[in-house]
Homo-oligomer: A and B are copies of this chain.
Amino acid sequence: MGGDFAPAEIVKGAVQASRELQIEIILVGDLEKLSRELKKYKERGELPVVAASEVIEMDESPAQAVKQKKDASINVAVSLVKDGKANAVISAGNTGALMASALFKLGRIPGVERPAIATEFPLPTGKVLLLDMGANVDCKPKHLVQFAEMGNLYARHVLHIDNPQVGLLNIGEEKEKGNELTRQAWPLLKQAPINFVGNVESKEILRGKADVVVCDGFVGNLILKFGESISLAVFQLLKNELSKGIMNKIGLAFLYPSLRRLRKTLTYDEYGAAPLLGISGIVFKAHGRAKANAIKNAVRETAEAVKEDMVSCISKLREKT
């Protein structure tokens, strides 16, 4: 029931995933609305529906709403994981509420102080895993180290990146650069059991200098949303510019398929879902503007995390360090 295009696009994406990926997807929410959406699709896989009478809106205070609305779809969905009735949960709704519900019901992996949200940001050359993307706005150096260790394990075991390069988002390359937090985190990251490649400037993110980049959640959230808005703004500028005059219109007709493809790489459609790393259960956040295709991709990635037993991977490292 969460996200800007729920429930229509969420159900559509789930139906596509059930068909293409042969995964049983439990839909949680308003029975009547979900059944109405489901009826639109004749060919579909297993899609049982579980009732939840309440919805947490995007502008509600997360912790409070999660406590008060016991029958909110997000609470019911997370409970399915807690009770072993589902392997994982995906939500496109209120991020804070998802994290709060996951913390209350599933808890943290022992040793993890602060679970973090990890987003795969698309690059010209591939993807980069950025964390934390907003769960922890004020961080201590040791929290950045945990983000780095969790990001490293997720990249290695779930994204199948061999010996991932892990970097610290910073305003300069040298270890003395940065604010108090990053200057203190640097030596700790250097000692951590990861392939630490040092500071990564924001302009280096897109050049793929590291596979995993850590920062506090305040900075991460700002960067992520700025990145999204600026790619779309550039595309808009381009469209405006290219629709001026007859010469351009002729040119555009030739370029149309390419522009469509470009647009696709710049929109949320191709974005993956973001895991809540450090939670004792598999919880993924889909983009609030996710449409069917993005939801299908989210299911695929979440299924991979289930297959690779993401929680055990992260638990094991915490025991070692």
Interface-forming stretch among A248-256, A277-285, A295-303? A248-256
Q: Which residues of B contact A248 (CB under 8 A)?
A: 254-255, 258
Contact B261 A241 (CB under 8 A): yes
Q: Which residues of B contact A134 (CB under 8 A)?
A: 171
Q: A134-B171, A178-B218, A179-B216 are in contact. List 11 more A-B contacts (CB 8 A).
A: A179-B218, A201-B225, A203-B229, A207-B229, A218-B219, A219-B219, A223-B223, A230-B231, A230-B234, A234-B235, A250-B254
Which one, B219, B240, B245, contacts A222 given CB within 8 A?
Answer: B219
CA distance A179 to B180 in the complex (A): 15
CA distance A216 to B179 in the complex (A): 10
Which one, B228, B229, B247, contacts A254 given CB within 8 A?
Answer: B247
Chain A 176-206, CB-CB to B under 8 Å as 1, else 0, gives 0011101000000000000000000111111
Is A104 an interface residue, CB under 8 A from the partner? no
Copies per complex of this chain:
2
CA distance A75 to B259 in the complex (A): 50
Contact B247 A233 (CB under 8 A): no
Is A126 an interface residue, CB under 8 A from the partner? no
- Closest beta carbon of chain B to A70's beta carbon, Å: 24
Which one, B202, B207, B229, contacts A205 given CB within 8 A?
Answer: B229
CA distance A266 to B204 in the complex (A): 18
CA distance A134 to B237 in the complex (A): 28
Which one, B124, B205, B251, contacts A236 given CB within 8 A?
Answer: B124
Contact A226 B229 (CB under 8 A): no
Contact B226 A203 (CB under 8 A): yes
Is A317 an interface residue, CB under 8 A from the partner? no
Is A312 an interface residue, CB under 8 A from the partner? no
Is A221 an interface residue, CB under 8 A from the partner? yes
CA distance A139 to B237 in the complex (A): 35
Contact A179 B138 (CB under 8 A): yes
- Closest beta carbon of chain B to A266's beta carbon, Å: 7
Is A169 an interface residue, CB under 8 A from the partner? yes
Please name the residue on chain B nearest to A61 by beta carbon. B176
Contact B236 A234 (CB under 8 A): no
Which one, B171, B229, B262, contacts A206 given CB within 8 A?
Answer: B229
CA distance A27 to B230 in the complex (A): 37
